[in-house]
Structure formats: structure tokens, C-alpha cells
Amino acid sequence: MEDIMLKAGIYQLEEKLKIEFNDKSLLLKAITHKSFPNENPDLSLNNNERLEFLGDSVLGLSIATKIFEDYGEMPEGGLAKMRAILVSSVTLARKARDIELSGHLLLGRGEEMTGGRKRDSILADALEAIFGAIYLDQGFEKAKRFINDFFDEDIELVKTGEYNKDFKTVLQEYVQQNSDKRPEYKIIEELGPDHNKEFKMEVLLNGERLGKGSGSTKKGAEQKAAKSALINLGEIEGRDGG
């Protein structure tokens, strides 16, 4: 079992999640796609489908409680729309990529060869399974706090209508049409104490700065830098305030 945990990078994943599991086999199960035990029956591993079922409910209740409490004036329709966006497979896959979850997944060889590691549905299901694993390992309150922190910036972006404006993806697609290189994001400066950080970020292509931006999280600063780059490139309208 230890060899499989090392193969999946369980300890590194715990560091990314900032959670130490009491029962690490739960986290291992959460990242095990059904194709892996099917091809490796001798390992006696269970897949993540049951945990994904549980994590879906933990996620939904956590998000619903958070937005219900934070947005007391919002009508039911608005709350339902926010929740639908936040718990969608597209959002979950995006969040999974933010923590590079794909590198930890246990997939069968066939699934691996057909691009399963990049598939939205597999990434989303694994992330929901992780929520279920946290709930079983540490209880609902800890799982809810983790989910609320994990989605904190996303919730605010959905509320302001900015969430679907994924400037990093738009910039990536633009660059791919014109170059075989990838945009590179670098931190210029970190300001403030740990509980109130501000990150200043720049985005580069072939060593040339395309744009810069700042935010309270690294991901937020990257989005601002990507938006700045798109403005500078003439792809979107706006003022580069980076």
C-alpha cells in the first residue's frame, strides 16, 4: 500500500490541500479511478465512485450554507444560480487543475492512453471524492471549512459576474494560435502579512512581459495579469491598470 501511496504522491497532495488525513487510505481511494483496480485486481483497491457520491452532497450543502449566510438579501433564484455554477463539473475540473490533481490520479493504462488524466469528468469526480474523504476522516465542519476556503475567491467572482471571464484560458488559447510556447506567470512581489497577502504577478511569453496584475491570491493575480495581457494585445477592451 505504501508503494501505491508514493506512486500517487499522497503526501504531496496532503500538502497542497493543507490537510493531514488520519486515514490516508481514504485519500488514496478518492483519487483512484475505476479503471485502475479493474486492471490491477491484485492490489485490492476500491475506486472513488462511492466517495464521489458522498462528496457531491457534502459540497452542495457546504456551498449552499455559505452563500445563504453571506448573501442574506439574495432571492432563492440567485442562490440557486450561484450554487449551480460553483458545483458544476466545469468549475470542479478547473479547481482540480489549480491544485494539479491530475498528476495524483490512479488510472488504468487504457484510460491513461485516451487522455483520461485531462478529462473534466474524471477530475471533477476525483475532487468531489476528496471532499467525501475529508468528511469521513474529519467530520462535516472541517469539510465545510475546507470547501468554503477552497471556493472563497470563486464565490466572490460568481457574485460579481466575473467568474466566467477566465482570462488565463482566453490568453492561453490566443497564444496557442500564434506560438508553440506557453504563457509563464511569475511573482514580482509579495506584500503584507500571511493573513492579508497581496501578490503582484507578471505574465511572460518568450521572456517578454505581456501584462501584470495584483490580487489577494496567486490565482487572482494571474487572472489580472492575463486580463492585462489581453488588453495590451488588443484582444479585449479595457484599461490596463496592472
Residue 116, pLDDT > 80, answer yes
Mean pLDDT value across residues 152-173: 79
Q: Confirm whether residue 39 is marked as ligand binding.
A: no
Q: Confirm whether residue 111 is marked as ligand binding.
A: no
Q: What are phi and psi of 10, to 5 degrees?
A: -60, -40
In the β-sheet with 208-215, what is the strand arrangement from edge to edge? Answer: 184-191, 198-205, 208-215
Min mean pLDDT across 48-52, 143-147, 202-206, 238-242 is at 238-242
Q: Confirm whether residue 52 is marked as ligand binding.
A: yes
For each of the domains in the chain, give its residue range(s) and CATH number, in order of start.
Answer: 2-160 (1.10.1520.10), 167-232 (3.30.160.20)
Residue 238, pLDDT > 80, answer no
Mean pLDDT value across residues 122-148: 97
Q: What is the pLDDT of residues 9-40, one digit of tens each?
A: 999 999 999 999 999 999 999 999 999 999 98
Nearest partner of 131 among 23, 26, 6, judged by Cα: 26
Residue 229, pLDDT > 80, answer yes
Q: What is the mean pLDDT of the chain?
A: 90
Active site residues: 56, 128
